[in-house]
Each structure stands twice: as structure tokens, then as C-alpha cells.
Structure 1
Amino acid sequence: MQCNLFKSHTNSPVAKNGFLDLSIHNDAIVKNEFANLKGEWKFFWNESKNPNQLHDFESESETIIVPSSWNQKIIDGKKLGSTGFATYYLQVKIPEKWKNRVLLLRVDYHAGAYELFVNGILSQSVGMFGAKKEISKNVHAPSIGYIYSNSEILNIVIHESNFEHRVGGIGREIYLGFPKAINSISNERRISDLFSISVLFIISLYYFFYFLIRNSDKSSLIFSILCFFLLIRALVQNEQILREYFPNGNYKIFLLIEYSAMYFAPSLAVHFFSLPIEFKFKNKIIISCYTISIGYFVYAIIVDTISISNTVLHFQYIVLILSIFSIELNVLAITKKIKHSWLSLGSMFVALVTIIIDMLIIQEKIQLPFTASYGLIFMIFTQGIILAVRHSEAFSTNEQLTNELTLFNENLEIKVNERTIELNSAIERMEKSVKARNDFLANMSHEIRTPMNIISGMAELLDESELKPEQKEYVSIFNIANKTLLNVLNDVLDLSKLEQGFLSIDTHEFRIDHLLNDLNKIFQFKTKGTSLTFDIQIEKDVPLLVKGDSNRISQILFNLLSNAFKFTNNGQVSLSLSLENNQYFVFTVKDTGIGMTEEKISNLFIRFYQAHDSNQIFQRGTGLGLAISKKLVELMNGNIAVKSTLGIGSEFVFKIPLMISTTANLVNSQLKQTNEQFHNLKVLIVDDVQENLLIVKKFLEKEVFSIHLSSGGYEAVTIFDENLFDIVLMDIQMPTLNGFELLKIFRKIDSDRFRFTPIIAFTANVTLEEQREINDAGFNGFLSKPVSKKVIFDKFNELLS
């Protein structure tokens, strides 16, 4: 990409039949101080003539026009083509004033390799001349050689070879003249190249950084890449700026750099012009263009240099098609009233004209300098201006919108403050409502669990006594009612925890067969007097001692079994347990009840959903059991599924991972529970409800010989101060002094006598707030009412171990 300001004068001499007389144009040549050695040179094909003998050569020989390629030269009726070697010869008669002066001979860059002799002396060489492909090495670079004209005749001989490019021969000008004039030509062309390179570099860098700042504008990035490709092409053309830094650089690499711009620039141009508009198959067309470009580039990497240079012969048509398509895109942009599209169309039209001229030059239809570089530079400058104007307009619009947004924000801030005040007031009311609800649930839990503790405790004590079968049946009824009521209460409280995100899992060791036996006792009673049967099956490979949350598993199974019995009038309800992958415990509850439709199954785990209408004869529930059960299964990293057929029955399956305990732990656990250490324990029980004191005392008295009871208040302080207890079991909600206040007093007494007594909270409140308060206060654990004898001794075991 250069702009040669030196133009040959129309009256400049032209060589004829290998002779150029510069002396007859003395005035013009002396004024310019240089001459263009153009015209007919003698030409010897596939010959390497001796430079010292050609000045005596007067016989008829072939001539060739310089500058031009030898591709179209016809010898013996055949075109020479591009590859081969030859000798060029020109005899020059110089002006009188040039004699005995130092002159410079400049040869513009062209495809081949050559040696240049003046009066038999080697003046300069580029590449490596050779009569064979193996020894000939092309280099694209201009060259300048010094000569001393000690006579009026200069015999100029050039040995030229080309085996690596599609164009052979001297295709560029050769200048002869004084050093100042010749150097001016070189400097001017160098400055022209550097100017193009610098401008392209600045434009490319500017729009690349603009894209980094505003990466939503893809046109800046594409335009930056397009400028970059044209930039690297400028580095390896004309004055070959890059060759100055890498004089021994590989010829193929330089050719790939030059041709990569030709391969990718048209695709980038299509992509760039298509960005502001939408049209059918847009993305496919862009991808196809890039695919073609990449395909040519990969092909060029694989093949030799002459094949690379030949790609221009067919790729020029692709360039032409894509250029015409780019013009159509600009016309489409005009129809869509995109700003500055007329200017963009004009720049692309200029580029298209220069591309067509270059195609004619490549096909040797006309003899002109290549012009596409100028057209592309004009297009780049124009598009750069258009982008800059569009960006400026975008910034102006953005500034206007920013001002409007600032004003809007100011008004919005006032409204937000007003809404914030209203929202804070609503949040405060909501928090009060939530607190009131939680307080109600806590009080309800306390008031219900206290009598439930008495009922379940008495039922358990009765169950351990000698009873008649009829009485045993009554006790079973107590247990069923108590368990059902407790499960409903747990579901309601768990719903509250679920809404607050505080539903938790308590992992501990337990026997899974004991858990299923407890359920069996409850639900076997439901089969009496009915045609129903209930059985539990545990597969042989299922470990019995595991670690998990037994209470939550029991809650899930109780809900599933309750539903199964509720909707099954006859047939069978079964519970089975199997092991999957030695990790997942699979619980299956199956019934032969009324079943469900697919629609009802899809809503089954939604809170408060009733699978059957209220006008049916079946007992209605809270609608919470299955929703809570599903959440509990998921909290234990498991999953639950249901299959059901209307009129045939349902099957609920849930899988949960449980840790398997060793047999040794089971033995140790059993030993602990039967160990005589319980006999030696000294236990204090503090509760303001006498029935609770009686029940816990009855639970413990067969194993623990020293049991002290207190109704709370300062009486409990006195008893604790006068005795050394191994464990204290203490209620929380008591008059005079509640459990937290007593704990502080007991800890103070313990600190005075350098002792630490394990104290267990015995509470009817099971809300998360109270659980956290109990832990933070310093209790060693808590038991929630109602409580069983087994649970108490398990907690004692936990503390003693």
C-alpha cells in the first residue's frame, strides 16, 4: 500500500531492441537526475549468459518488455509460463554529465531471485539465482546497488530465476540515477508504507480498545481485526518493511502473511457490513465466508509456495463475489435507513472498482500498477470515520439518556424511600404476626405435650405391668391415639420450621428392627376386627444397627402407613425394607386400597392437598403428612416416589442413605444399657407437674436407686446445693424460677465446688428458637415431651460415655 509520487514523464526514453539512449533526453534526465530503464531488453530463455561477453553480442535475439512477466512470452510457438530462468540484457548510453560519477541502480521488488551485473561487475543480488528449483530461492525485496560510470556505455545484465511463484520475470521498474534522486524514491515509498502501516495500526488499536470498553458493539472488534490483516499485508509488500528486521526470513512465511489478508479480509468485510442489519440466512452466510477463508489458509499452510501464489487466480473471483455482496448489504442498509449507509456504499464501490482493475492486471489484460490497496485504504478510512461518527452519536444519545436517567433516579429515590417506609412497617407487622404464630405454636406444643407425656408415660408403665389381654388392648389404643396425635403435632411444627428453613436432621445410632417393631405394635392393632392384614419384611442382607435420624424415619413411615390404612378397607398393607448398593435403605409401603389417578399423584406432595374429596367416606387428614415426609426424605439425601392404579392400590417407595454401625458398637450399646453403673447414679428430677415427676421416677426406679424429686423454685436449689448429683433432668417452663434461671444457679454452685454436673433440659417446647436457646445456655442436651423410658436411658448413656 504505497503512493508513488515519482511519475515517469511522457517524453522519457524507452529502450529498443536492448539499447537505451539516455543522452538524447539530456535536459529532462539531468533535471530529474534519474531514469526509468523501461522498454525492450534482450532476453535469453533458460540461459545464463556471461556478463562480460554480452556487450559484443550483436546477433538477433528475443526481446521482452521490462517491466512485465515472462509468463505470456511466446518462444517457438509456446508460452513460457512462470517457472524457469533467463538472462536480461540492456545496453545504456548515459548523459555526458553522468560519466565518472557514482550512480545508484534501484530494482523494485518482484517475485523472483536475480543477480545484476554492470559492465561485468556484480552490483547487487536478491535471493539465490539458480538454473534449478533446488538451488533457486526467491525473496520479495527491493534492492539498490552502487556503480561507477567510467564510460558512457553501461552494459546491464540480469540473471533472473523463478521456481516458487506464479509470476516470473522482472515485473517492476528499474531506476538509474544519482544517489539523491534514487534515495528520494526509496524514502518516499518507505514513508508511504510506514504511513499506511501506522494509520492501520492506530485504527486497529483504537477500535480494539473501544471494543474492550464497550464489548456489546461487535462492529468495533471486526473492524479492528480487518485493519490488522491489512496492516500485516502492508508489512510484506512494496518496501518490505518486515524484511528489514528479518532479512533471512522464510519465503513461505512471508507469502502466508501476505495472502492471509487476501483470504480473510473479504469475510471480515461481509461480517462488518452485515452487523447493523438483519436478513435471511445471515449467520449461515457469515459462517460460510469464514469457512472458505480458513479452508484456503489451511491449504496454503500445507502446499508449496507456487501453489500458494496460484490461489489468487481463483480466489479473486470469491473476492469479487463477496465485494458485490458487501455492496448489496450497504444498499440494504440504505433501505433500512441506517445512518451514513450512502457514504459506506460509496467507499465499498471504490474498493470494488480497484479490485476489478487488479483482477485485469493479474490476468495480464492491462499493464498498470496494482490499485486494490488504495481502494481498501480509502474504504478503511471512510468506515473509520463512519464508525467514529456513529460512536459520537451513540455517546451523545447515551449522555442524554444518562441525564434523563439521573432525573428519573432522583424521583425514583423519593418514591423508594416512601415505599421503604411502608415496606418496613409491613415487615414489622409481619414479624409480629410470625412471632405471635410461633408463640402460639410453642404454647400449644407445651400445653398438648405435657398431658401427652402423662398419657404416654402411663401407657408405657401399664404396658410393662402384668395386664389381662383386654387391658393390653386398651393400652395399645392409648399408644395409637398418642402416636397419631404426636405425629399431627410434629407435622404442624415441622411446617413452621420448613417455612423458616430450619428443618434439621439429628444423626444417632439406633436399631432399625426395633423401630419397625414399634410401628408393628401400633398398626397390628388396626387390623383387629377387619379383613385387613399387615406385615413387615426385612431382607436378610439389611444391617440392623445403623446411624441416622430414627425419629424422622419413624415419622415418615407413620405418615405413609396411616395413609395406607386410611384408604384400604380390605386386602393387605405391607412394609418392606431392602438394601441397595450397600448404602441406600429402601422402604416400601404397599396397599391394596382405592388407588389414585395420575392427576392426583402429581399433586400429592403439595401441602394441604387432599387426594380424595371431602364427601367421601374416608377420614380426612391435615394434608401435611406427605409434604413433610417428602421434605424429610430430601433432607436425608434421599428420594421418594409413588405408583398407584385407581381401584387397585398404591405403592410408596423412599430411599435414604444410612451409615452402617459395627456389631461391636451394638454389643457395647447393649452392655451400657444393662451396666450396673445406672444403679450407682444419683439423679435429680425437677418438674412443676407432679404427674411428670411420678412417671420419670417410675421409668428410672428399677435401674437407678438414688432418685430425688423437686417441683422447682428454691426447693430445687437447696436440694442441688446439699447433694452431689450425677445427672439432673430439669423442666424449662416452671413458676418462680424457670429452667434457664435454675441452670445459672446450678452452674454457680458447681463452680464453687469445682464440679460439673450434666444437666438435661426436659421440655414440652420443641421450637427451633428454644432448641438454640437451650444449647446456647449451656445444657448438656434436651429431651422433648412426651418421652419414653428408652429415650431417657439412651440420653444417660450418651452423657456417661
Structure 2
Amino acid sequence: MTEGPLLSKSIHQRFLVVALFPLLLTITLLTLYTIDARRGDLSENLYQSGEMTSDYLATISDLSLYSRNIKLLANTSAAAIRLPDVSGVAFIDRTEKLVLNSGDIPPAALGSSPDKQPLQLDNHVYFKKPVYLVGVEFSDYEEEAAQVVDNELIGWVIVAIDQARLHQKQRQIIFTSLWLSLLGLIIAFVLTYYLSLGLIAPIQHLTAVIKKMARGNLSIRAKTGTRDELAILASGINQLAESITEGRQNLEYRINLATSQLQDTLESLQTKNRELELSRQEAETANQSKSDFLARMSHELRTPITSIQGFVHLLDVSVMSETDRHYCQIIDQSALQLLTLIDDILACSKLQSNTVELEQQPIDLAECIEQVSALFSPQAQHKGLCIAVDYAPDVLLHRVGDMIRLQQILSNLIANAIKFSEQGGVFISLKTNSAQAVIIEVLDTGIGISADAQGLLFNAFTQADTSISRHYGGTGLGLSIVKSLVDLMEGDIDLESREGRGSTFRITLPLPLSETQPNWKIRPCKVVIASCNEFTTLALRHALERFGVNDILVTDYDHLLNTALQLEASDRVIVCIPAPQGARDDLPKLMVQLRNATRAKLILTASQLNFYQQFNAKERAGLNPVAFLSMPPPLSELHRSLNENGPSQDLIAITPVNSQLLDGVNILIAEDNQFTSLLLDTLLSKMGAYCTLTNNGNEALAACQHDTFDLLLVDIHMPQKNGIDTLIALRRSNNPNARIPALALTADILQQEERALFDAGANGLQLKPLNENELLANICKLLSIRPPTEVPVPSSQEGDVSVNLFRQEVRDLLKKARQAVADDDLAELREQVHQLLGIAGVFKLTTLEQLVRHLHEQIKAGSLTSVSALLDKIDREAEWIDL
């Protein structure tokens, strides 16, 4: 009931606004104009009065001012002050000296310059006029007469005009004008209001009629006593009401008919819904049964496959013919392929059932990619393919994400790239977009994919055509798993491919940045690159740009020697050794010539297999300073190799008593601690031995496949494959090094580990910190070399080792130990302290060695309360060491 009045009031108000606004604007403008005009007239009259008064006084007071007739000037001032608004008069001579001041005119007005505009100060206006002496003859004495020069400036007259009365009149004008305007506005509002009521009444009537029709009263009709547009509107409303009445009747009939039909349809839908619900329950039951079946089959299938592989491995290390060994390898490969198929099916099942959850942990993208590429590197190299990883210089590599799932994506893409490529290589690039999202591209030079098949490629159990499955094998699940994982990580995947030209898979993942990023900058140097393909060259260039190296020169093998002649010892040469199929016969000779041409450090990148195929121990030793990096080279290893000068510069030569004691002895060192490896290499090399350095058991076994050694020095605690497992694998193999003497190195060993070590085939045990005399005595004993009466190795003396290298090694180990404490990883903590104990006693630093040994005993006893404090003490002690 309130909508009608509100609407009418709204129309009425709008009408009043439209009618009164021009009137209000006009009255306001007229009032403002009147006030301004009258105020201006008053001000102008006041200024004219001041001008006239001052001009008049300047005219009549010339003689009085000239003669300094104070009385006459006072009478003149008094007469002027009696004028309206005049509050004071002052006279000053032409030297600016005051003659008379009536009315207390302030000094600021007296000293003002006689400008055209009068001075306004403290509600007064001051008019300053010059007084000129008009030509008149006069004489004060009868005997003298003086003639005065016309128009001579003799001073100034200053007249003060009070504006108080002016301001009072202006206020009266404003007050009167506002009252008159307000009165006119009230009269206009009243007249407009009552006149508008007559115009709004018919509209209010039509509004009321429409509201009643809207509430359902279609029998009401609009009426109006006018013959204008409102009457036409009323007639239209009446016709509309009649049409709505007729339409309602038709609509009611149709609604009744549709309702009857809808009721029949709903009954049919309810029946079908019950059938669909039963079908859904049956499908869920079948899906659960499928998952249960896959889980059971995974266990049932893996158990016999594991047995098959186990017995095949046992047969492989036994004595058998080459044909039987080949059969065992075929069985092993088939079992491994079957396990891969089972893993793909289970991964696909988990993704379809939405049971995969992502972890958000800090990850290093370089480490993540390099672990996967290292896993597939032997397979690629076996097919003669090159694998390279290119990191754009601006990509921040420390991110937050799920490393396992990311590696699963990369594994499937790289495995496919290797599977479908017969020549060329697999190239992985990492870059970023404007939103800092990570873009990973995997490019291969394989068979490519047709445009028709690309749309179906990410579907489960789908391959480009059936011949691919027959020729290359596989379930067709790999790319389906990749697509599901990328979607789960809220990323995108794109494909570009041409048949016979290869494929490029591009993945975009929104991986957030980690809180900290590493500093990759190294000391400036010049770097020469001799690469085997364009992509590897580009990857090395980008890595060097990340490290802050801008002086880069790319050359080929033919021009490498000429380029090396221009290098300094602080420069670097990176040589990419080609795959075995493309290896050069003269490569060792070329490297020796390169070493003779320059003392710059050499960095050779190739598969671990290539190093031992193409260089013997003596040749490798002759290339120092040199670093051997796997292909593709890990970013951190490349950074370390570029930033370090190498053994020949970090370790100063030790002068032995007898440098020929181990002359020609070929020693394999398996030690993951770089510092200990360098010490062993320096010590034994000076005795005449050739040392091959490896970082873990897998590298040591690979070296044994392609070189013959006289002695193995193996650390017990190593990553990937420890010393005990390495000895077991070596003793069970049939290569020429299976029976060489093995001396185990360790800083700490448990009783059960010692038994397992000698059961594995160790011939001796050397405890760390290494005692050089004892070490050499044990080596001579194992090699059946008669040692001299005095063991020809002095203890490490002051200056033998770089202080910076020693401190950096200690800092690195302490950093890893603190991280293990933070992660509550007791095994990792024990491993890092074990490494620290291995180097603590090398230089006879008693305090440091005691601190480390005390820390080691605390960890062995399981007491971790004082670990952090001991780590801090060790850190402070290491900083004060001066070797």
C-alpha cells in the first residue's frame, strides 16, 4: 500500500527539482552579482575618497611643509581627520624624516614606497602622495627675498582611511540580499508546489490503477478527465488489461495441459533414475573390484618377477658360456619391461581413482632433472643418442612442489623420447614465462607423430598406430599418466610434432619460488667450449651466463689447439667428448697436446664409460688439472669445476723420500669426500702411482669394467652404493679386477659392519683420520712391496694444503650436519660427522680432532642435546686454523 504514494512523491519531487533548479540558480546568480556589485561600489567610493583627500592635502600643504609650519600642518590634519573614514594624517620631508603624525600611522605605512596602489594594513588603507612646492615669491625679512623653484619635491603626505565602516556596510548588504533571495525562493517553492499537484494527480491515478492490475485486479479501468497524452495512456492501459485477461484464460488452459504431461514425464524419470542408481552402484562395485584386483595382481606378478630377476642375477655371476649369459640378459630385460608395464597400469589406476596427493616441499629443479637424465643416460648412450639439459640463465631453480611427481612426468617423456629415437638425441630445456611459471620442453629427433594422432595421444592405452606397439612395445599409458599429473599440478602440456622430424613436449607448471635462491656467481675467467652439437653448446653457454661468465669462445676440435695457446692458467677449457659411436681415435692424443699447449684447467664431459674407454690411468693423470663430468654435466658439478683450480693448484707438492716406491701402480680410489680424494691422489701420485678417482661404488664398478687396477681403496660410507656392496658386486663379477687387493677406509665402523666388510672380500681396514705412514705400510703389504726402513712419506706440513679449501670443506660438512639436525635425520647426521672425522686428524690439529671425535661419540650414544653447541664450537675452531 505504500508503493503508490512513494512513487507519486518521487515523481512530484523530481518535478519540483526540475522546476525549482533553474529558478534557484537564477536567484543565486543574481544575489551574488548584486552583493559583489554593491561591495565593489562601496570599495571604489572609499578609494576615491582617500585619493581625493590625499591629493587635496598634498596640494594645500606645500608651503606649510616647506617652511616646517607645524601649527599649520596640525590644523590641516585635524580638518582632514574630521572627514568620514579618515583616521590619520602624516607629513614627512623629502629625506624620509617624519614632520607630523596625526592619528598614529604605523612606521610600516610611513616607510612604504609611493606606489600607484595604496597600502592595505590592519584594516586601514594608506594613501601616500608627494608634495611639490609651487612657484611663489616670499620673504621672511625685508632685506631678503627668495625665489623658489617650481615643482620641487619637498616631502610626502600620508592619509589613513579606516575600512571599518566599509565592512559594516558590506555585511549589511550581504544580509539584506540573502534575506530577499530566501524570501523569493520560499514564495517560488510554494507556488511551484501547488501548481505541480494539479499536474501529478492524473499520473498518480494511473499509477494506482496499474498497481491494482499488478496485484491481479484486471477488472479495474483507468479514467481521466483530460484529453491530452494522459488520456491516450489511460486508454492503452485499459486495452492492455483486457488483453491480459484474455491471455490469462488461455494460459491457465495450457498450464493445466502441460502439468498433466509433466506429471507423466516425472513418473517416467523417477523410474529411470532408480535404474541409473542401480547401474551406478554396480559400476562403483566393479571399479572397486578392479582396483582390488590390480593391487592383488601387482603383488602376485611382482613376486615371481622378483624371483626371476634374482635367479638370473645369480646365474649371471656364475661360470657359464657367453650364449647362456646372453639368454640371462634377455630374461632380465624382459622381466624389467614387464615390471615397467605393471607400474604404468598401477599409476594410471591411482590417477583415475583420485588417490594421488601432491606434496609441497622445497625442490631444486636442476637436481630433479639431472637425477632423471642420469637414470636414462646409459640407455641413451647405448643407442648412440645424446642427452643435454639447458637451463635458461634467468630461471630461478629453487621452487616448491612435488619432486617425485615431477620426476615421474620427466621419466615418461624422456623414456618415450629415447624409445622412439634412433639417432640424434634428447634435449631438455628449462625456462620461465612472465608469471614465473616453469616451462619444461623435452625435444627428440625421433619418428614424430602425425597430426591426426596428436589429438588422441594423451588418452589411456592409445598410441599413434598399432604398428608402434608391435615395434616399440609399451601400453600407451605413459602420456596419459603425464597428462593426469600435469592437470593435477594445475599445469598445461602442449605438443609440437612432425612425422619423421621429431617431437617437442612443452609443460608449463606454476611452481612457487622457494624462499632462498643459491648464488651461482664465480670468479671471472675465459672459457673455451669445444662441443659435439649445437644444443650442448647452447646449454653450456646458458650455464656460463648463469655463473656470470661472459668471455666465452666456441670452437671445434680442429682449431682447439690454436685457441688454447692464447689461454692463461686461470682460464677454462670445456671439451664435450662424443658418444662411443662417434668417438675419435686420436682423442687421447689431442687431449695430451691440449695439455701441453696450455695450463688452463680442462673440463671433459662425457659418459663415465667413455672416460675409461678412451683414457688409461696414466693419460688421465697427465691431464691435471682436469675434471671429468658426466654427460649431461650436473649444474652444481660444472659450477664447482669452473670455480676450483684443481688438485695441482689446490694441493702443494709433497717432497717424498723415495718417489719411486709405487712406480707404475694403478690404484682405484672410491671416496665420496672430495677433500679426502684429493689428499689420497696427491699423496699416492707423488709415490709414482696412477690414481683413478670415483665418487661412489657404481662409478668404481664402471671403472673396473674398462681398466685394470692393482689396488682398490674404498670408503665404506658412500652414496648410491656403499663400500660393502661394492666389494660384494666386484668379487662376484668376472672382470679382471675381481680379485685385486681392497683396502677399506672409514672413520668409524660397527662390529657387524666390520664382519660384513671382510666377508665381502676386503683385505684390510684403514681408519680415518689417515696416518700417511700407516696407510703406505698397509698398501705395501697388500701389494707385496717391501717398504724401506723409513716409510718415505712425511706428515702434512704447514702450507701443504690450501687453507681456503680446507675451511670450505669443513663449512660444507657443518652446513649439511646442521640441516640433518633440523630435519631430525640421524642417519644423515652420522654420515656427515663421519666425513668430518675423516679429515679432522689429517693435519694433527689436536683441538679440532678432539671436538669432532667428542661429537661423533655423542651421536653414536644417541645423545643429541649438545650437538648444535658442538657444531658451533667446531665451526669457530676451524675459522682460527692456520695450516
Identify whether the pair has TM-score above 0.5, normalized to the shorter chain: no
Q: TM-score, normalised by structure 2?
A: 0.32
Q: What is the TM-score of this pair, normalised by structure 1?
A: 0.35
Larger RCO (alpha carbons 8 Å, 6+ apart): 1
